[in-house]
Amino acid sequence: MSQQIDYNDRPWLDPDAEPFIKVQSVSKHFGDFTAVDSVDLEIYKGELFCLLGGSGCGKTTLLRMLAGFETPSSGSILIDGINMTDVPPYERPVNMMFQSYALFPHMTVENNVAYGLKRDGVAKMEIAQRVEEMLAMVELTQFRKRKPHQLSGGQRQRVALARALIKQPKMLLLDEPLAALDKRLREQTQYELMNLQEKLGVTFVVVTHDQEEAMTLSTRIAVMDVGRFQQIGTPTEIYEFPNSRLVANFIGNANMFEGRVSENGTDHVVVESKDPACNFYIDHGMSIQEGSKVWVAVRPEKIKISKQPPGETSTNSIKGMVGDIGYLGGTSTYRVLIGDQRIVEITSPNLNRPKDGNPPIDWDEEVYLSWEPSSPVVLTK
Amino acid sequence: MNARLSTFLITSVCFVIAFLYVPIFMLIAYSFNYSKLVPVWGGFSVRWYEKLFFDSPEIWEAVVLSLKIATVNACFATILGTLAGLALVRFGHFRGRTLFTGMISAPLVMPEVITGLSLLLLFIWLQNSVGWPNERGFTTITIAHITFSMAYVAVIIQSRLAGMAQDLEEAAQDLGAKPLRVLIDITLPLLAPGMLAGWLLSFTLSLDDLVIASFVTGPGATTLPILIYSRVRLGLRPDINALATIIILVVAIGVLLAAWIMFRQQKQRELELNMSEET
Amino acid sequence: MSTPAETVVAEQTTTQDRLVHRLTHFLQYHWRTLVLLVPFLWLLLFFLAPFFFVLKISLAEYTLKSPPYTDLIQWADEGVMQIRIVVDNFAYLWDDDLYVNTYLSSVKISTISTILCLLIGYPMAYAIVRSNHTTKHILLMLVILPFWTSFLLRVYAWMGLLNDQGLINDILTGMGFEPLRMMYTHFAVYVGIVYTYVPFMILPLYANMEKLDWTLLEAAADLGAKPMTTFFTVTLPMTLPGIIAGSLLVFIPATGEYVIPDLLGGGNVLMIGRVLYNEFHQNIDWPVASAVAIALLLVLVIPMMLYQHIQAKEVESQ
C-alpha cells in the first residue's frame, strides 16, 4: 500500500513525476457567470490537496467537475491517464464526501456504507465483510443498525467517510469535510482524517474556506479567487512566500506597506516606503526594476516590539505608539499607531509573567518596531 | 404581547372555531331528532340511522361507487402527479415546459363549472368520433377527477422535491447508481410521505366533488355527492343528517388518527436524537 | 440432442429474454421521456383539448339536434368547405342585462366574501403563529379538519341553521325578536362562501407569517412605533404575499361557485356558475353555456395567472 507523500520527496518538484490528476485549461460558465476560469492543475498520487478560497471563488464548482456533477464548458480532466471529462459520476473511479454528508435518511448506517458496493454488483459475502472492516476502522460497529438521524454530528461524518472510502476510489473528494462539526471536534477530526489518508494512501482533494484547516491538512494548497488559482504551493510556501497581496492577506495576517524599489543588489533589495517613512532592507535578490512600485508584507509575529530603540533605526524599524492591546494568554496582539492613521499589527509571545501585574508594554506607550532582513516579502501584485 | 391585543386574538380564535364547528355539531345533533321536520326538535331517536342502514340501498350503492372512483382516482393521480412533479423540479429545461407548468397548476384554480363543462364536451366528441367512452359514468368521472387531483399531487411533490437536498441524489450517483437507480433507491422512498399525502388528498377531493361529476356522469352512475345534492336541494332531510354524521365521524377519526401517528413519530425522532447526542 | 418441444421452449425463453432486455434497455435510456410524456399527454388530452371544444361550441349555433350545436365546418353542395363562426352567443350575453348583471353580481359577491374572509382569517392566522407549540398544532388541526369533510354537507349544515325555523331564529324568537328571513338571501350566500373558503385564507396567511422574523416587531417597538403604526408599517407589508395568495384562493373559486348560491341563495342570488350550470342542464343551450364559460374565464384569467405566478415563485424560492 502506498504511503502519504514523504515531506522530503516532493513529486511536484520532480520533472519526471507523472501527475495522477490533470486538469487542463478547464472553464465553467453558468450563463454569463464564469465560475471557473481556464485553470490548470496537477495533483500527484497520495497527495492531500486543498482547494482554498472564499465563497463563490469557484472551488466547489471545480470539485463538482472532478466528481462529474458538472461538465466543464471547455478543457479536459484526466484521472490516472484516462480522460474523464464527459464520464458521468456513476462511472468515475472517484468518490465524494458531501458537506451535508448526504447520508440516505431511510437507510441504516450499514446500508449506507454498503450502497456503493451493491451498485457495483459485488458479491453479498464480500460486501458484508468489507462493510464490517470499514465500520471497524471508523469505530462505528455498534451503530451499524442505526439510522442517520440517530447519530451525532461526528458519527455522521464518519459514516460519510466510510461510505465514500469503501469503494477504494482512486481519489476522494471532500467538500468542507469539517464545517459541520464544532471547534473541538474539528481539531480532533483533522488529525484522524490525516492518519486515515496516510494509512490508505488515497489521493484526497479537500475544498475548504478555513485556512487553518488547509494549513494543517494539506501537502499542497491551491488558493482560489474569482475562478482562478492565485498560488499553488505547500503550506509553508504559501505562508512564508505569498506571491500576491491577496494570498498574503487570505492566509494569516500581514502588514502591507506600499513603496518603491530604491536599490536592487544581487543579494539584497531595498524598498523605500513613504507612509510610514521607512526603508525595508531585504536580504535576497529579486529580478525587479529599480523605481518600480511594490508592496512589502511583514507578518505580525515577525515584528519585534520593544521600548528601547534597536541599534540601527533607519532601516527595518519604525517608531509608533501602542493604540490597542489584545491579551490572548499565550500571545498578545498589539495594534501600534504609526503617525495618525497607519496601524501595524504585531503578535508577540508572552514569555515572562508580568511583574506586579503590570504588562511589559502598556497602552499609549512609545514603542519601536523592528524586524529581520529575511522577514519581509516583496510583492509586485 | 399587550393585553388588549391578546384579548382580541383570543376572541377572534373562539369566533372562528365556533363559526367552523357549530353548524357541524348542529347537523349531528339534529340527526338524532325524531321529527321528520329537521329544524323542529321532536325528541331523541335513532330512527333515521335505522332508515339509512336498513332502508336506503340507493345510498349504499352511491357510497360504493364514490369509494371506487376515489380509490382508482387517488392511485392514478398520485402516479401522474408524482411524475409531473419530478419532471418539473428535476429535469431542468425541456421543450414545452412553460405549457406544462401552466397545465399542471391551472386545474387548481379553474372554476369547477368550466372544468366540468369542457370535459363533458370532450367526452361527447370522443364518443361521436371514436366511439369511446361508450357510456358516461365511472370511467368519465374517474378521468375528470384524476385530471384535477394530479395537479394537487404535483404541487405537494414539487414542494417536497424542492425542499429535498439534491445532495442525496448526487451522493447515490457518486456511489455508482445510474439515474433510474437513483430514482428508485433514493428519490421515490424519500417522496413516499408526500405521495401518501397526495393520495389521501386526491381521495378526499374525489369523494367531495359534486359539480364536475354531475357534468360528466351519465344516467346510470350516481355518486354520493350527486345523490345527497339531489335530495337536499328540495329541503332538509333527517336521513341526510344521519348520513352526514357518519361521514363526518369517519373522516374526523381518520384525520385525528393520522395526526396522532405523525405526532408520535416526531416525538420518537426527537427522543432518539437526544439519545444519540448524549453518547 | 434436443427434442422439438425443448427447442420451442428455448426459443420462447430467448424471445422473452430479448423482450425483457429491450424493455430494460428502453427504460434505462428513455425513462425521462416516459416520466415527462405520460402526465404531459394526459393534460393535453383531458385539460387543454377540452377548452378548444368549449371555444368551438361557443362559436356555434343552437340546434334541436343531438348534440345541440352546429358544426363550424360544413360541406356545401359542391364539396366546398365552409366555416361558420357565430359570435351571436357573445353578443347575446352582452345585450342581455341578465348576464351582465350576473357577472357583476358574481364579482361583487366574491369580492365582499374575500374581504370578509381576510378580516376573519387574518387575526386567526396571527393568533395561530403567535401561540405556543401545542396550541398551534391544535388550532391548525381545527382549521384543516373541516377541509377534509364533505363540502356539500357543510353547506347543508347551514341550511339547517339559517332555516326559518332553524336554530338562529329559535334563539331570536326566544329572546323576543321577530324571526328573520335568512335562507335564500344574499346574506346566506355570504355566510356559505365565507364558511367554506375561510380555511383557504387562513392557511396561506399562516404559511407566510410562520416564516417571518417577529423580532422585527420588537425592533419597531424599540424604535418608538406605537402598536398601530407597527402594524401598518411592518406587519402588514411583511404579510402582503400571504394576503394576496389567500385572497386569490378565495376569490377565484368563489366567483365560479355553483353549489352555495344554488342551495343557500335560491333564485334571488345571481351568480355566474349557477347560470352556466342551468343554461347547460336545464335549457340544454350548449353554445350559450360555452360562451358563458369563456366569458367567465376572461373575468378570472388575470387573477388565475397572478396566482400561478406566485405559486411558481414560491416553489423556486424553496
Q: Are the C-beta atoms of A167 and A112 separated by less than 8 Å?
A: no
Q: Alpha-carbon distance A334 to A367, whole Å? A: 11
Q: Alpha-carbon distance B74 to A201, whole Å? A: 54
User: Could you tell me if A257 and A238 lie in one domain?
Assistant: no
Q: Which of A87, A98, A131, A205 to mutate to test the interface with B (most CBs of B within 10 A)?
A: A98
Q: Are the C-beta atoms of A299 and A252 separated by less than 8 Å?
A: yes
Could you give all domains of chain C from N- to C-terminal order, each with its CATH number?
Answer: 4-58 (no CATH), 88-317 (1.10.3720.10)
HEC sequence for A128-170: HHHHHHHHHHCCCHHHCCCCHHHCCHHHHHHHHHHHHHCCCCC
CA angle A325, A330, A335 (to 5 degrees): 20
Q: Establish if A4 belongs to a structural domain.
A: no
pLDDT, mean of residues A272-295? 81
A378: β partners? A296
Burial of C282 (0-12, 13-18, 19+ CB in 10 A): exposed
- Closest partner residue to B210 (CB to CB) among C145, C159, C259 is C259
Contact state of C150 with B124 under an 8 Å Cβ cutoff: no
In B, minimum Cα distance to C261 occurs at: B233
Q: Which ranges in chain A belong to alpha helices (H)?
A: 59-67, 109-119, 124-137, 153-165, 183-200, 211-217, 235-240, 245-250
Q: Alpha-carbon distance C227 to C221, whole Å? A: 7
Extract the C-alpha cell encoding A136. 471497524
Residue A169: CB partners within 8 Å, gap ≥ 6? A93, A94, A95, A202
Q: Establish if A96 belongs to a structural domain.
A: yes
Burial of B151 (0-12, 13-18, 19+ CB in 10 A): buried
Q: pLDDT value at position A6?
A: 57
Contact call for A and B: 3+ CB–CB distances under 8 Å: yes
Chain A residues in contact with B168 by the CB 8 A cut-off are 102, 104-105
Contact call for B and C: 3+ CB–CB distances under 8 Å: yes
Could you give all domains of chain B from N- to C-terminal order, each with its CATH number?
Answer: 21-55+238-272 (no CATH), 60-235 (1.10.3720.10)
Predicted confidence band of residue A368 (pLDDT cuts 50, 70, 90)? confident
Extract the C-alpha cell encoding A360. 511589559
Q: Are the C-beta atoms of A276 and A318 separated by less than 8 Å?
A: yes
Contact state of B121 with C290 under an 8 Å Cβ cutoff: yes
Q: Which ranges in A222-319 belong to alpha helices (H)?
A: 235-240, 245-250
Residue A373 sits in a domain whose CATH number is 2.40.50.140
**How big is chain B by its Cα radius of gyration, in Å?**
24
pTM: 0.84
Question: Among residues A200, A225, A246, which one ends one of the domains?
Answer: A246
User: Could you tell me if A235 and A266 lie in one domain?
Assistant: no
- Closest partner residue to B175 (CB to CB) among A119, A150, A155 is A119
Q: Alpha-carbon distance C115 to A15, whole Å? A: 78
Q: pLDDT value at position B261?
A: 84
User: Could you tell me if A188 and A334 lie in one domain?
Assistant: no
- Closest partner residue to B117 (CB to CB) among C40, C146, C293 is C293
Residue A208 sits in a domain whose CATH number is 3.40.50.300
Contact state of C124 with B114 under an 8 Å Cβ cutoff: no
Cβ count near C258 (within 10 Å): 22
* Chain mean position to CA A96: 19
Q: Are the C-beta atoms of C46 and C58 separated by less than 8 Å?
A: no
Q: Is the pLDDT of residue A147 over 70?
A: yes
Q: pLDDT value at position C127?
A: 92
Q: From the CA of B92, how many Å to the nearest CA of chain C?
A: 11
User: Could you tell me if A355 and A207 lie in one domain?
Assistant: no
User: Could you tell me if A50 and A198 lie in one domain?
Assistant: yes
Average pLDDT for chain C: 84
A279: β partners? A272, A315
Sign of CA dihedral B65, B70, B75, B80: positive
Q: Alpha-carbon distance A123 to B34, whole Å? A: 73
Given strand A317-327, what is the order of strands in its sheet?
A304-306, A366-370, A317-327, A331-338, A342-349
Predicted confidence band of residue C95 (pLDDT cuts 50, 70, 90)? confident
Q: Establish if A166 belongs to a structural domain.
A: yes
- Closest partner residue to A106 (CB to CB) among B170, B174, B190 is B190
- Closest partner residue to B170 (CB to CB) among A69, A106, A149 is A69
Predicted confidence band of residue C12 (pLDDT cuts 50, 70, 90)? low
Coil vs helix vs strand at B35: coil
Q: Give residue A233's domain range.
A: 11-246
Are β-strands A304-306 and C73-75 bridged in parallel, bridged antiparallel, or unpaired? unpaired
Given strand A269-273, what is the order of strands in its sheet?
A278-282, A269-273, A255-264, A293-298, A377-379
Cβ count near A205 (within 10 Å): 25
**DSSP-derived secondary structure letter, A20:** S
Question: Among residues A211, A246, A281, which one ends one of the domains?
Answer: A246
Q: Name the interface residues of A facing B (CB cutoff 8 Å).
A: 67-69, 88-91, 94-96, 98-100, 102-106, 115-116, 119-120, 146, 149-152, 155, 163-164, 167
Coil vs helix vs strand at A47: coil
In angstroms, the first-to-last Cα distance of chain C is 67
User: Could you tell me if A162 and A15 lie in one domain?
Assistant: yes
Extract the C-alpha cell encoding B119. 370535459
pLDDT, mean of residues A217-242? 89
- Residue A336, phi then psi, degrees to nearest 5: -105, 130
pLDDT digits (tens, 9 = 90+) for A177-199: 888 788 888 888 888 888 888 88
* Chain mean position to CA A239: 10
Q: pLDDT value at position B279?
A: 45
Q: Alpha-carbon distance A84 to A150, whole Å? A: 37
Q: Alpha-carbon distance A238 to C238, whole Å? A: 48
Contact state of C42 with B102 under an 8 Å Cβ cutoff: no
Q: Quick check: B130 contacting C, CB < 8 Å?
A: no
Q: pLDDT value at position C98?
A: 83
Predicted confidence band of residue C132 (pLDDT cuts 50, 70, 90)? confident
Extract the C-alpha cell encoding C193. 362562501
Q: Quick check: B98 contacting C, CB < 8 Å?
A: no
Extract the C-alpha cell encoding A43. 495533483
- Closest partner residue to A96 (CB to CB) among B174, B177, B178 is B174
Distances (CA, A) of B195 to A17, B104, B200, C36, C318: 55, 16, 9, 17, 19
Coil vs helix vs strand at A255: strand
Q: Is the pLDDT of residue C2 over 60?
A: no
Q: From the CA of C87, how many Å to the nearest CA of chain B?
A: 19
User: Could you tell me if A258 and A335 lie in one domain?
Assistant: yes
Chain C residues in contact with B24 by the CB 8 A cut-off are 146, 149, 154, 157
Which chains pack against C, by 3+ Cβ pairs within 8 A? B
Q: Which of B205-209, C110-114, C148-152 has the lowest mean pLDDT?
A: C148-152
Contact state of C156 with B228 under an 8 Å Cβ cutoff: yes
Chain B residues in contact with A155 by the CB 8 A cut-off are 276
Predicted confidence band of residue C64 (pLDDT cuts 50, 70, 90)? low
pLDDT digits (tens, 9 = 90+) for B113-169: 999 999 999 998 898 888 888 888 899 999 999 999 999 999 899 888 887 778 899
Pick the closest to residue A224 from A208, A241, A205, A240 (CA basis): A208
Pick the closest to residue B228 from A40, C151, C90 (CA basis): C151
Predicted confidence band of residue A292 (pLDDT cuts 50, 70, 90)? confident
Q: Are the C-beta atoms of A143 and A151 separated by less than 8 Å?
A: yes
More confident position, A112 or B262: A112
CB pairs under 8 A between B and C: 259
A318: β partners? A369
**Angle, to 10 degrees, between the axis of helix C286-317 and the axis of helix C88-95?**
90
User: Could you tell me if A308 and A226 lie in one domain?
Assistant: no
Contact state of C256 with B241 under an 8 Å Cβ cutoff: no
Question: Among residues A246, A268, A298, which one ends one of the domains?
Answer: A246
Chain B residues in contact with C303 by the CB 8 A cut-off are 109
DSSP code string of chain C: ---HHHHHHHHHHHHHHHHHHHHHHHHHHHHHHHHHHHHHHHHIIIIIHHHHHHHHHHTS-B-SSSSSB--SEEE-TTS-EEE----HHHHHHHH-HHHHHHHHHHHHHHHHHHHHHHHHHHHHHHHHHHS-HHHHHHHHHHHHHHHHS-HHHHHHHHHHHHSTTSHHHHHHHHTTPPPP--TTSHHHHHHHHHHHHHHHHHHHHHHHHHTS-THHHHHHHHTT--HHHHIIIIIHHHHHHHHHHHHHHHHHHHHT--HHIIIIIGGGS--HHHHHHHHHHTS--HHHHHHHHHHHHHHHHHHHHHHHHHHHHHHHH-
Q: From the CA of A52, how many Å to the nearest CA of chain B?
A: 21
Predicted confidence band of residue C46 (pLDDT cuts 50, 70, 90)? very high
Q: pLDDT value at position B256?
A: 85
Predicted confidence band of residue A3 (pLDDT cuts 50, 70, 90)? very low
pLDDT digits (tens, 9 = 90+) for B47-104: 889 888 888 899 999 999 999 999 999 999 999 999 999 998 888 788 888 889 888 8
- Closest partner residue to C39 (CB to CB) among B150, B240, B259 is B150
Q: Is the pLDDT of residue A356 over 70?
A: no
Q: Are the C-beta atoms of C259 and C155 separated by less than 8 Å?
A: yes
User: Could you tell me if A51 and A170 lie in one domain?
Assistant: yes
Contact state of B247 with C153 under an 8 Å Cβ cutoff: yes
DSSP code string of B132-197: -SSS-SHHHHHHHHHHHHHHHHHHHHHHHHHHS-THHHHHHHHTT--HHHHIIIIIHHHHHHHHHH
Q: From the CA of B1, how many Å to the nearest CA of chain C?
A: 9
Contact state of C35 with B228 under an 8 Å Cβ cutoff: no
Are β-strands A366-370 and A278-282 bridged in parallel, bridged antiparallel, or unpaired? unpaired
Q: Establish if A282 belongs to a structural domain.
A: yes
Predicted confidence band of residue C190 (pLDDT cuts 50, 70, 90)? very high
pLDDT, mean of residues A345-373? 80
Pick the closest to residue A24 from A45, A3, A5, A38 (CA basis): A38
Query: For chain A, what percent of residues have pLDDT higher than 90?
Result: 33
Coil vs helix vs strand at B199: helix
Q: pLDDT value at position A2?
A: 40
Q: Is the pLDDT of residue C249 over 50?
A: yes
Q: Are the C-beta atoms of A215 and A236 separated by less than 8 Å?
A: no
Pick the closest to residue A91 from B173, C30, B181 (CA basis): B173
Which residue matches cell numbers 506586579?
A: A356
User: Could you tell me if A177 and A265 lie in one domain?
Assistant: no
- Closest partner residue to C158 (CB to CB) among B15, B23, B108 is B23
Query: Model ipTM?
Result: 0.89
Contact state of B173 with A88 under an 8 Å Cβ cutoff: yes
A326: β partners? A333
Sign of CA dihedral B260, B263, B267, B268: positive
Contact state of B117 with C290 under an 8 Å Cβ cutoff: yes
Q: How many domains does chain A have?
A: 2
Burial of A296 (0-12, 13-18, 19+ CB in 10 A): buried
Contact state of A119 with B173 under an 8 Å Cβ cutoff: no
Pick the closest to residue B74 from B190, B204, B191 (CA basis): B204
**DSSP-derived secondary structure letter, A315:** B
User: Could you tell me if A158 and A275 lie in one domain?
Assistant: no
Q: Establish if A1 belongs to a structural domain.
A: no
pLDDT, mean of residues B217-232? 91
pLDDT, mean of residues C245-253? 93
Q: Are the C-beta atoms of C201 and C118 separated by less than 8 Å?
A: yes
Pick the closest to residue C272 from C136, C144, C99 (CA basis): C99
Chain A residues in contact with B267 by the CB 8 A cut-off are none
Contact state of B155 with C28 under an 8 Å Cβ cutoff: no
Pick the closest to residue B215 from B223, B207, C63 (CA basis): B223
**DSSP-derived secondary structure letter, B33:** B
